[in-house]
Amino acid sequence: MKDEQAFLKDVASHVMQVIRDEGAHRHIRFRRPDSMCMHFDLITWPGYLCYTGDMGTYVFRRLEDMFEFFRTDRRDDSSLNINRHYWSEKLQAVDGNRHNGSAMQFSADKFRRVISEIRLEWIRDARDTLSKEQRRELWEAVDEEILQVLGDDDQGYAAQIAARDFYWSADGMSSRYRHGKRGWEFHDLWEYSFNDYTHRFTWCCYALAWGIKQYDEAKVPA
């Protein structure tokens, strides 16, 4: 809802310009009257839709009329209902911008949430095996060796490597191969996805839902 409200604020003064409207062949532009800021175009041809504008370029493929495809997630209420997971599966191409040319990217928030949840589970399970001081040391070790590494690079490589290499034991030994001794480490992190949809792709999805809605409403006889 927060993303939707931000999008609606961005396009509050946008107007629609119909450049071409011939069946599945369309070119519809949305922009502020005296500015190209936050503008976007929706261009369709049989089987394809191209969104292009300030938030990048995304090409989708699914139905003969792609406006019909993006209408399928509408509801009766006035909210814009987007389906980023399903819609992203229909992507054929995105712009080549090195930083923004993707529908998804590493999310520090998702990474932090997963690591924090596993750490909390460790602390709860260790109440009978570790002292209060040892639990505090384990908690702080995760902070210092992993979570504080976040932000050093956009893709979170350093933090993910730190999590993969992390090992803590109550006696301070670093070896993972001590018979009868238990250490704490992050197993099977590969099972988690630390990616999330980019702000640009999310904005694009709202633009698709909103733009097609504006187009449809303009088609309704007065």
Residues 158 and 174 in one domain: yes
Residues 33 and 53 in one domain: yes
Residues 120 and 66 in one domain: no
Residues 86 and 121 in one domain: no
Interatomic CA distance for residues 189 and 52, integer angstroms: 36
At 221 the pLDDT is: 78
Residue 214 lies in domain: 2-103+198-219
DSSP H helical ranges for the chain: 2-10, 66-71, 84-88, 108-125, 132-145, 157-165, 199-219
State pLDDT tens for residues 24-43: 999 999 999 989 999 999 99
State pLDDT tens for residues 98-122: 555 579 889 999 999 999 999 999 9
Residues 121 and 14 in one domain: no
pTM: 0.80
Residues of the chain under the 50 pLDDT cut: 177-180
The backbone torsions φ and ψ at residue 144, rounded to the nearest 5 degrees and listed phi first, read -70, -40
